[in-house]
Every structure is written in C-alpha cells, then in structure tokens.
C-alpha cells in the first residue's frame, strides 16, 4: 500500500470525511484491521480563507506547494488536495513534487463520463463556479458545464462560508440548494457536481432525482485505487 499525503483543513469538516472515506475503503478492500497509510497537513482554515478573500493565489500556491514537499519528505507517495477551490493552485503544487498529484476534477470527470452524463451542473464556491481552472478541466474532457445564475451563485457561496465550513447544517439552506439544482435541470443539466467538499454535508444523492457526483467521495476512492494498485 502506498502512503497517501493529504493537504487538508480547508475546512476540517470536509477533510475528516476524506480520512473516513479513505480508511473505510481500505478496510473494506483489505479486511481485518487494515487502515490507510496517511500523512496529513491540516491548516487553520482562517489562514487559507484570508488568502482567498485577498485574491492572493500566488501566496496560497507557495504555501501549499511547500507543504506538499513536506508531505513527500515525510513519505507520501501520492498527494491529494482535500478541497475543490484550492485546485486553482494545483499547478504550483504539482510542479513542486516528484510524486503523483491526483487532481480532483479528473476523478470527477471520469465519474460523470462513466455515468453517461454530457451536461452537468457545477455547484461550489464562487471561485470554482466563476473561474475557469475547474470548469475548463471538465470541459477538456468533452463535458458541457452549467453554473447557476449570479444570484444563485451568491447563495451557494454564502451557505458554504457562513454555514457549512462552520459545521452548521441548516434545512432551509438545503431547500434553497435543491431549488437552484432544479433551475439548472430546467436549463439542461443531466447531473450535478457537488464541487465543494462541504456541500456533501448538506445535499446527499437521495435529495436529488438526477445523477449526483460527490467530489470528496470520488476523490477519496480514486486515491485508494491508486494507493492499492500493483505495478
């Protein structure tokens, strides 16, 4: 089993889901008391959020790249970034390390394509929905990506930062998210990507009538697959 390095704490509510999912899957596959071999760098999310708010993506990239090197030095043989938004600086991280970097959007795109979905809705932070670092990676695989209108994007973003990353799960916000998804379906969405790891804490596959792609789970399972594969 390869050692997996996790860059997490963005926020910790979602990062512990990564750990839970990875460990559960390893135990399921290997049995007994097996668990994953992990090295983890978990941040004070306030530090990361301040860099995001300031638009200091260069500074964020340098921070995460330096810590990715530390994970590699600690024995990580593949590295995951446990957040959708910060994949905006994925290139800086990937160029700083010599071990594989498993890109979250690639794991997501593979699942969407496997499901036969061609047009998919993307929910996430405003950075993920409005910038092209994530959408373009999905579109490069032949997918058509829809994002909510401006007012709905504000709702999705604000719920993430004002509620979900603070551990607050509010039924009324789930209802608003489902209404936003319905509007995207009316525009042609055949499936929906939970493109922020915390969204999975609010909306589950049973809440929607179309294929639902929980990026945390998809990324975690891809990591286990890579960690257990034999050459």
Q: What is the pLDDT of residues 68-117, one digit of tens each?
A: 999 999 999 999 999 988 999 999 999 999 999 999 999 999 999 999 99
Write out the two tokens for 207: 């809440």
Burial 120-154 (b: 16+ CB within 10 A, else e): bbbbbbbbbbeeebbbebbeeeebebbbbeeebbe
For residues 20 and 15, what is the distance between their CA atoms, to the nearest angstrom?
9
Note if 82 is an active site residue: no
For residues 162 and 134, what is the distance between their CA atoms, to the nearest angstrom?
23
pTM for the full predicted model: 0.90
Catalytic residue among 3, 82, 83, 215: 83
Query: pLDDT higher for 231 or 214?
Result: 214
What number of residues does the chain have?
231
Catalytic residue among 3, 125, 196, 197: 196
Task: Delineate the domains of the chain, giving CATH numbers in brackets.
Answer: 4-103+218-228 (3.40.50.1860), 105-214 (3.40.50.1860)
- Cα 214 to its chain centre, rounded Å, is 8
Tens-place pLDDT, residues 113-144: 999 999 999 999 999 999 999 999 999 999 99
């Amino acid at each position: 089993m390869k050692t997996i390095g996790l860059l997490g704490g963005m926020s910790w509510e979602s990062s512990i889901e990564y750990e839970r999912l990875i460990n559960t899957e390893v135990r399921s596959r290997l049995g007994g008391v097996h668990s994953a071999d992990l090295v983890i760098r978990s941040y004070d999310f306030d530090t990361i959020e301040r860099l995001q708010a300031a638009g200091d993506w260069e500074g964020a990239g340098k921070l995460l790249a330096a810590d990715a090197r530390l994970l590699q030095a600690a024995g990580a043989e593949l590295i995951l970034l446990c957040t959708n938004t910060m994949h905006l600086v994925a290139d800086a991280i990937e160029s700083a390390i010599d071990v594989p970097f498993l890109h979250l959007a690639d794991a997501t795109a593979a699942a969407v394509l496997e499901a036969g979905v061609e047009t998919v809705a993307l929910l996430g932070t405003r950075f993920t929905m409005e910038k092209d670092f994530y959408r373009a990676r999905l579109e490069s695989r032949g997918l058509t990506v829809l994002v909510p209108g401006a007012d709905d994007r504000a709702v999705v973003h604000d719920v993430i930062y004002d509620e979900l990353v603070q551990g607050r799960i509010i039924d009324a916000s789930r209802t608003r998210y489902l209404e936003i998804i319905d509007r995207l379906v009316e525009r042609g969405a055949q499936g929906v990507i939970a493109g922020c790891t915390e969204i999975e804490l609010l909306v589950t596959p049973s809440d929607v009538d179309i294929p639902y792609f929980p990026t945390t789970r998809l990324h975690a399972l891809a990591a286990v697959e890579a960690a257990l594969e034999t050459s």
